[in-house]
Structure 1
Amino acid sequence: MQIVLRNLKILILITLSIFSYGCKENSQKNNETSKNLLHVKSDEGKKWNVLGVKIVGKILSTQTNNKYSVIISETPPNQGPPLHVHKHEDELFYILKGNYVFHFGNKKIKAKQGDFIKLPRGIPHRFVNTDSIVGLTMNTITPGGFENFFSEISKESEANRLTKHKIDSIANKYGVSFVKK
């Protein structure tokens, strides 16, 4: 577990370094992005339950001038999203725990703890936790804002109003389309 936490800290530092350049471009418009320290404790973050996947928003787009967001996802065994395409976002996955299979276009990639995957926008993809334990990933999503999709899906689910039509409507709002096999 200490190795996972150390790797998580390293990845967060790398992520912040990569995206701080983009945030500096807007520093005259929003000095908060480049000058304020951002410290999110291990038990902090915005929590959502999205169709059985526990997600914690650790860094929200409102904190990065909409440049990126960072989430932690707990994916149950043999679970993952359906095949889908993002119109606007690239996704970066760092596997903290478990084994996954990523389907990206016509490629199939096996990923384990410590592996890093980048999924560019515009290409159909999905992933499945193939392990017998709950998997854990840290995802950086750029540009920011997609965490609002998780928030809306979670709210509708909690209110027992989540239907396939509602999921499709919310997905469409955020530039995501589900691909039929």
Structure 2
Amino acid sequence: MRIEASPEFFHHVISTPTNWVEMNPACIGVEHTRQGRVLTGRPAETGDLVTQYVLVGSSDTVTTSHWEVTASHPGREFAISDRAAGAHVAWNLTENGGATEAVRESSAGSDVDQYALDAARGLAERRWRELGSVIARDRGTGALSDYYTETNEQVVGDGETRGAHTAMRVHVHPEAAPPLHVHTREDEAWIVLSGAVRFWFGGRTIDTCETIDVEAGAYAFGPRFVPHTFRTLADSSEVIITNTPGKVEGYFLSIGAGDSRDDAAHQDLFNRYGLVVFTDQLPPQ
């Protein structure tokens, strides 16, 4: 059977036990364990154990089956065995013209195999379509937005990544440095393309922060909940700023143009996007 998704993606769908509930209407739950540790929403690897809870017909009787994963090779095969019941299931996957050719064999018989193929194909193709497209965007081709005295270019948008990520290109000037602040919902990272940038990390005041200077080509990462700020050491530095996940993009788009920074006027936006801003803690000029 041909499935419009990559073999690696389809393998992820069929090897993640929590998907089995969606692919089999009689299945009401699973428990996936690895070396005694319970996992949720993770692909199963060789040696993992999966307990499946299944309703019998239209009754309220629940049966359990205990599967051991005997083969899990992304993009190639996935196999499970219930040795006590003498049952086995094996999926073989090959790439064909950008799609997956999937063959399923089991001790249950061809009718069940075909039903399982149809159910897995439907789930995989829905999820595959939801992923969106690959994005490659040259400098100067993204949407522009005003942010106080700066103009930012959207490299990739929150809506293009299903909320996973947002990135913008900025040309930062010394007077536009943000006050020390904390993101409570997203991680932030910076790629310095030109100029030089000083970062302050880790303290509740500028004086108690660690200071790090970087030049063009540098990458810096600031985890959520860690106070930080930055300022260009050159007249202007070009920086790509990324946030993961990407909902905080709405904050930057909401500010608009201004003659100077006025962070104290935007406490409502800080609350909405989970930002804690120490407006009196500005990087020294």
TM-score range (shorter-chain normalised) is: 0.7 to 0.9
Check whether the contact 1:52–1:76 (CA below 8 A) recurs between aligned residues.
Answer: no
Distance 2:264 2:216 in 1: 35
Q: In 2 relative to 1, CA 122–96 (structure 1 residues): closer, same or farther, beyond 3 Å?
A: same
Q: Which runs of 5+ in 1 are unaligned?
A: 1-23
Distance 1:171 1:46 in 2: 23
Higher strand share: 2
Structure 1 stretch displaced more, 108-117 or 36-45:
36-45
Does 2:220 align with 1:117? yes
Does 2:245 align with 1:143? yes
Q: In 2 relative to 1, CA 175–27 (structure 1 residues): closer, same or farther, beyond 3 Å?
A: farther
Paired amino acid for 2:162: N
Matched positions, count = 152
Aligned to 2:134: 37
Q: In 2 relative to 1, CA 97–65 (structure 1 residues): closer, same or farther, beyond 3 Å?
A: same
TM-score, structure 1 as length reference: 0.74
- Displacement of 1:165: 5.1
Q: In 2 relative to 1, CA 126–164 (structure 1 residues): closer, same or farther, beyond 3 Å?
A: closer
Paired amino acid for 1:101: R
TM-score, structure 2 as length reference: 0.48
- Displacement of 1:164: 5.0
Distance 2:134 2:229 in 1: 34
- Displacement of 1:27: 8.0
Q: Could you say what secondary structure the match of 2:131 adopts?
A: helix
The 4+ residue runs of structure 1 with deviation greater than 3 A are 24-30, 162-166
- Displacement of 1:78: 4.8
Check whether the contact 2:140–2:153 (CA below 8 A) recurs between aligned residues.
Answer: no
Check whether the contact 1:30–1:65 (CA below 8 A) recurs between aligned residues.
Answer: no
Aligned to 1:173: 272
Check whether the contact 1:102–1:109 (CA below 8 A) recurs between aligned residues.
Answer: yes
Distance 2:129 2:230 in 1: 37
Aligned to 2:171: 74
- Flag the structure with larger Rg: 2
- Displacement of 1:146: 1.5
- Displacement of 1:92: 1.0
| Aligned match for 1:129, one of 212, 222, 232 | 232
Distance 2:175 2:143 in 1: 25
- Displacement of 1:138: 0.9
Q: Which runs of 5+ in 2 are unaligned?
A: 1-12, 14-40, 42-123, 203-208
Q: In 2 relative to 1, CA 85–39 (structure 1 residues): closer, same or farther, beyond 3 Å?
A: same
Distance 1:27 1:81 in 2: 44
Higher helix share: 1
CA RMSD of aligned residues (A): 2.6
The percent identity for this pair of structures is 23
Q: Bigger relative contact order, structure 1 or 2, given CA contacts below 8 A and separation 6+?
A: 1
